[in-house]
Amino acid sequence: MRLVVVGGDAAGMSAAAQARRRRTSDELEIIAFELGSYTSYSACGLPYLVSGEVADEEALVARSPEEHRARGIDVRLRHEVIAIDVDTRTVTARDLDAGRDVIEPFDELVIATGATPFRPPLPGADAQGVHGIQTMADGLALRDHLARHAAAHRRAVVVGCGYVGLEMADAMRTRDLDVTVVDRNPHPMTTLDPDMGKLVHEALRGIGIDVRTETHVEAFETDNDGHVRAVVTDQGSLPADVVVLGLGVRPNADLARNAGIRIGPTGAIATDDHMATSIERVWAAGDCAETYHRLTGRPAYIALGTHANKQGRIVGVNATGGDEIFGGVIGTAITKVCAYEIGRTGLSETEAIALGLDFVHATIESTTRAGYYPGTQPITVKMLAERGSGRVLGAQIIGREGAAKRIDVAATAIWAGLTVHDVVHLDLGYAPPFSSVWDPVLTAARRVVARLEE
Amino acid sequence: MRLVVVGGDAAGMSAAAQARRRRTSDELEIIAFELGSYTSYSACGLPYLVSGEVADEEALVARSPEEHRARGIDVRLRHEVIAIDVDTRTVTARDLDAGRDVIEPFDELVIATGATPFRPPLPGADAQGVHGIQTMADGLALRDHLARHAAAHRRAVVVGCGYVGLEMADAMRTRDLDVTVVDRNPHPMTTLDPDMGKLVHEALRGIGIDVRTETHVEAFETDNDGHVRAVVTDQGSLPADVVVLGLGVRPNADLARNAGIRIGPTGAIATDDHMATSIERVWAAGDCAETYHRLTGRPAYIALGTHANKQGRIVGVNATGGDEIFGGVIGTAITKVCAYEIGRTGLSETEAIALGLDFVHATIESTTRAGYYPGTQPITVKMLAERGSGRVLGAQIIGREGAAKRIDVAATAIWAGLTVHDVVHLDLGYAPPFSSVWDPVLTAARRVVARLEE
């Protein structure tokens, strides 16, 4: 039996490692093709590599190619899989260094090709100094660029104000660059509701990040060497020594599409609850794969390392005769921008309206510790619940130290189908260094209950 | 209509305030008797008053007597209620300053008399310098004692190594005293299992707290002025300039008992799910009241500010014609000792065994942030689940910064009746500053799932 893995990052190597835990080398041969030179690294850690907070890129590597090989996984670096033939059950991989193609048969195939940062089809978008951040190579390129031009390149423009955009803005503030963020929306972070996005907006301004909202990028102006020198927008030109694209990612689904594997409505590879594709014993996991949103009941595409690891593990089980399902997602995400922490889970107002749900919401302000405890910080919690059933639909949190991970209580409550009435009663941990006596999440639930009763 | 509240701290004044929100002064007269001189203060904050981290005791006061009075609550300080007559529906209160008794009738009565630190019936237990910590007066007395004798009193002995004991040990370490903790058990914190208690033990030793386990206190030795000078144990005598009792608290239930109100098996005032006592329209809330443990199905006594606030609010609703239940407790508790954070929820092994449950458990080590992220700290998570059903029974956490509040995920999961299989799938917040890509709680759940399948 032979398992072939396409893509040697989080999802692919989780699958390979899990399969190896279940099957010896005599029972199962495992080959993993990786386009780049690293395996199993934390792509989510790249902003901290760029900021310099993580000094050594090897620290981002959870397991090196050598470690995987020592466990009997035949890792082939710098190999680009250029074709999958689902009839002959083979893949064709190009050895980038040797410049030749190899064809390898498979019994089980795991597609874990990841995603690519969206590069807008605008003049100059491919100029030097315009960076997307998705792979280790991307991160190293930007870090080295910044190091090389440390004296001269002081002005950074980040295009797009989602998670990656904000994390990269933070990274470049940490490197003491002047940072401008450009976004076409009225507020940063459209995964939050506008009222919460407004708080993020104010927070970013407070930490010296110049946020240009409702601003559309029209081109990237370059100098004679082909290096970016300004971001041209409908609100004027912004001088830029370096540009980072934070416009989201697109699933690398072409390989699968070309092989006749079904692509879902989100543009990612369609999967069932076992992470199986439309072709028998061909699996997909991670940033190339579509998943299921438990609250919308619809396919969802959320590229996130935590899902990639879970899905990879499940594929490793199922590709070796096991039977595990991926439970889907509810859109939980957290991030840190300088001293601010932001979290969200479930449905935003916008999403709840789109689903035609009848809901109420409330927003409260509290503190991360008892009000009198040293280091206490403000926290704002918004919660949504369905009218009638009372079930929690979503929550959003903005605060400082100790704020973001509190979203997990709401995420667990939503997963379990709890109502806001249930949440009010939860026996959560309380001590002055960690919470006000009414946990902020419970206070938000109380307020929503009151709204439901109005 | 008249509502009388006995006890002006968290539970009592939450009840009074909630009642006032629902009824105007014309509709409802509210009288609150308080033995001491403060209302609505955070007893949980007293260790930080003693340590000096909270400089001003007024900071612990959530709402002063004046503020309550401004809302139409007749707060009578330094009034000790000495009798309740449930037939004539009156209370007798002694005005401690005027030295006379007043009798006040009630329609609704809220008993919120709190608890008293257990003082062992040993020679010298009432000596000067032997402090219990439960009321603001206790906290101020100890703080002032330490300040007065700052130069001379350098050796503190804490008797009992539960939450309060540890918090007080921490407080006195913060004041740079030499701290010895004496406990008769093999490990600190018997609300944790011994294996986790052992980790606490090691942590305490590491921060310079001398922990004497399996040591029984036999007496408190005093000098000629009647001031404590040593704690005599079966393992020898420990010199002590100041002693803090951390042996738990006993509910102040005598007033209710003497009135013929039913006392439960825990020694606290028996209540139903509405926090009603055995006498109609007489309610109990907070540290004097018994509650219900959702996992054992039995009455429980857990004196904790967060329960007191919730119960008080519910009593305030029910005493004014509303209908709200208190959902019970599952034994969640967290604390901080110097750099260490400790949390627990649900059942320990000991408790699960006592209930005759068939269960498995697993313990994992992980980090509070991504392993490469600056400031990442170790965290140990133990989880218990029932064999067969797979439902989560309990969890315990020990770690450093960012560890304790993670217990809330387990607490919410237990509350909702989730299984460890459910928990493995939870969509929790992930970003490198906040978690490893597999959240430690999920990793623990995975390990328990593996045990269930063995």
Using the Cβ of B150 and the Cβ atoms of chain A, whether some distance falls under 8 Å is answered with no
CB contact under 8 A, B415 and A426: yes
Using the Cβ of B285 and the Cβ atoms of chain A, whether some distance falls under 8 Å is answered with no
Contact (Cβ atoms closer than 8 angstroms) between residue A377 and residue A367: yes
Distance CA B283, CA B274 (A): 8
Pick among B335, B372, B435, B452 to test the A interface (most A CBs inside 10 A) = B372
pLDDT number for residue A151? 77
Distance CA A220, CA A359 (A): 43
> What is the per-residue pLDDT across A322-352, written as a single tens digit (0 to 9) for each?
999 999 999 999 999 989 999 999 999 999 9
Half-sphere exposure of B281 (CA within 13 A, CB side): 16
Backbone angles phi, psi at A452, to 5 degrees: -65, -30
Catalytic residues of B: 44
- For chain B, what are the domain ranges? 2-41+57-116+250-318, 119-245, 341-453
Instruction: Tell me whether the CATH fold assigned to B2-41+57-116+250-318 matches the one assigned to B341-453.
Output: no
Give burial (CB, 10 Å; 0-12/13-18/19+) of A87: exposed
pLDDT number for residue A150? 79
> What is the per-residue pLDDT across B303-315, written as a single tens digit (0 to 9) for each?
999 999 999 999 9
Compare all CA atoms of chain B with the CA of A333 and give the residue at the minimum distance: B429
Distance CA A221, CA A208 (A): 25
Using the Cβ of A329 and the Cβ atoms of chain B, whether some distance falls under 8 Å is answered with yes
How far B21 CA sits from the closest chain A CA (Å)?
13
In the stretch 345-364 of chain B, residues with CB closer than 8 A to chain A read 345
Distance CA A348, CA A293 (A): 13
pLDDT number for residue B149? 85
DSSP class of A45: G
Q: Which CATH number fits domain B341-453: 3.90.1150.10, 3.30.1450.10, 3.30.390.30, 3.90.79.10?
A: 3.30.390.30
Distance CA A339, CA B121 (A): 51
CB contact under 8 A, A430 and B44: yes
Using alpha carbons, select from B273, B271, B272, B274 the residue that is nearest to residue B288: B271
Residues of A in contact with B62 (CB under 8 A): 371
Question: If you compute the radius of gyration of chain A from its CA atoms, what whole number of angstroms results?
Answer: 23
In the stretch 226-265 of chain B, residues with CB closer than 8 A to chain A read none
Cα A164 to Cα A171, A287, A344, A443, distances in angstroms: 10, 14, 15, 30
Q: Which entry of A44, A161, A288, A338 is annotated as an active-site residue?
A: A44
pLDDT number for residue B338? 87
Using the Cβ of A296 and the Cβ atoms of chain B, whether some distance falls under 8 Å is answered with no
A44 is catalytic: yes
pLDDT number for residue A454? 86
The partner residue sitting opposite A370, judged by closest CB among B45, B345, B427, is B45
Using the Cβ of A58 and the Cβ atoms of chain B, whether some distance falls under 8 Å is answered with no
CB contact under 8 A, B431 and A335: yes
CB contact under 8 A, B429 and A416: no
Contact (Cβ atoms closer than 8 angstroms) between residue B49 and residue B58: no
Using the Cβ of A44 and the Cβ atoms of chain B, whether some distance falls under 8 Å is answered with yes
Ranges of chain A whose pLDDT falls below 50? none
Residue at A73: amino acid letter: I
Using the Cβ of B412 and the Cβ atoms of chain A, whether some distance falls under 8 Å is answered with yes
Using the Cβ of A118 and the Cβ atoms of chain B, whether some distance falls under 8 Å is answered with no
Residues of A in contact with B408 (CB under 8 A): 406, 408-409, 426, 428-429, 439
DSSP class of B135: S
Q: Order of strands, edge to edge, in the sheet holding B2-6?
A: B73-76, B29-33, B2-6, B108-111, B282-284
Which residues contact residue A214 at a Cβ distance below 8 angstroms, ignoring those fewer than 6 apart? Answer: A183, A184, A185, A186, A235
The dotted CATH code for B2-41+57-116+250-318 is: 3.50.50.60
How far A344 CA sits from the closest chain B CA (Å)?
8
Pick among A310, A437, A446 to test the B interface (most B CBs inside 10 A) = A437
Q: Order of strands, edge to edge, in the sheet holding B333-337?
A: B333-337, B340-346, B392-399, B378-386, B359-367
How far A56 CA sits from the closest chain B CA (Å)?
9
> What is the per-residue pLDDT across B136-183, written as a single tens digit (0 to 9) for each?
999 999 999 999 887 777 899 999 999 999 999 999 999 999 999 999
Compare all CA atoms of chain A with the CA of B333 and give the residue at the minimum distance: A429
Task: Give the global pTM.
Answer: 0.96
Per-residue buried b or exposed e for B166-176, using 16+ beta carbons within 10 Å of the residue's own CB: bbbbbbbbbbe
pLDDT number for residue B84? 98
Residues of B in contact with A311 (CB under 8 A): none
Residues of A in contact with B405 (CB under 8 A): 402, 405-406, 429, 434-435
Using the Cβ of A409 and the Cβ atoms of chain B, whether some distance falls under 8 Å is answered with yes
pLDDT number for residue B150? 79
The answer to whether residue B254 scores a pLDDT higher than 90 is yes
pLDDT band at B196 (very low <50, low <70, confident <90, very high): very high
What is the SS3 string spanning A52-94? CCCCCHHHHECCCHHHHHHCCEEEECCEEEEEEECCCCEEEEE
CB contact under 8 A, B44 and A431: yes
3-state secondary structure of B295: coil
The dotted CATH code for B119-245 is: 3.50.50.60
Residues of B in contact with A422 (CB under 8 A): 327, 415-416
The answer to whether residue B380 scores a pLDDT higher than 90 is yes
In the stretch 159-218 of chain A, residues with CB closer than 8 A to chain B read 163, 167
Distance CA B425, CA A306 (A): 11
CB contact under 8 A, A429 and B326: no
CB contact under 8 A, A326 and B417: no
Instruction: Please name the fold of domain A2-36+43-116+250-318.
Output: FAD/NAD(P)-binding domain (3.50.50)
Residue at B454: amino acid letter: E
CB contact under 8 A, A54 and B430: no
Contact (Cβ atoms closer than 8 angstroms) between residue B374 and residue B430: no
Distance CA A340, CA A434 (A): 17
The number of C-beta contacts closer than 8 angstroms across A and B is: 212
Q: Order of strands, edge to edge, in the sheet holding B228-233?
A: B217-222, B228-233, B236-239
Residues B308-328 have a mean pLDDT of 97
> What is the per-residue pLDDT across A382-420, written as a single tens digit (0 to 9) for each?
999 999 999 999 999 999 999 999 999 999 999 999 999
Token representation of residue A189: 């972070």
CB contact under 8 A, B370 and A306: no
Distance CA A420, CA A98 (A): 60
Residue at A342: amino acid letter: I
Q: Which residue has the higher pLDDT, B207 or B156?
A: B156
- Reported in sequence order, the residue ranges of B40-174 that DSSP labels E, i.e. its strands, are 73-76, 79-85, 90-95, 100-105, 108-111, 115-117, 130-132, 155-159
CB contact under 8 A, B371 and A59: yes
pLDDT band at B111 (very low <50, low <70, confident <90, very high): very high
Give burial (CB, 10 Å; 0-12/13-18/19+) of B78: middle
Distance CA A250, CA A288 (A): 8
- Reported in sequence order, the residue ranges of B136-216 that DSSP labels E, i.e. its strands, are 155-159, 178-182, 210-212
The partner residue sitting opposite A416, judged by closest CB among B371, B418, B433, is B418
How far A106 CA sits from the closest chain B CA (Å)?
29
Question: Cα–Cα–Cα angle for A252, A302, A214, nearest 5°?
Answer: 95
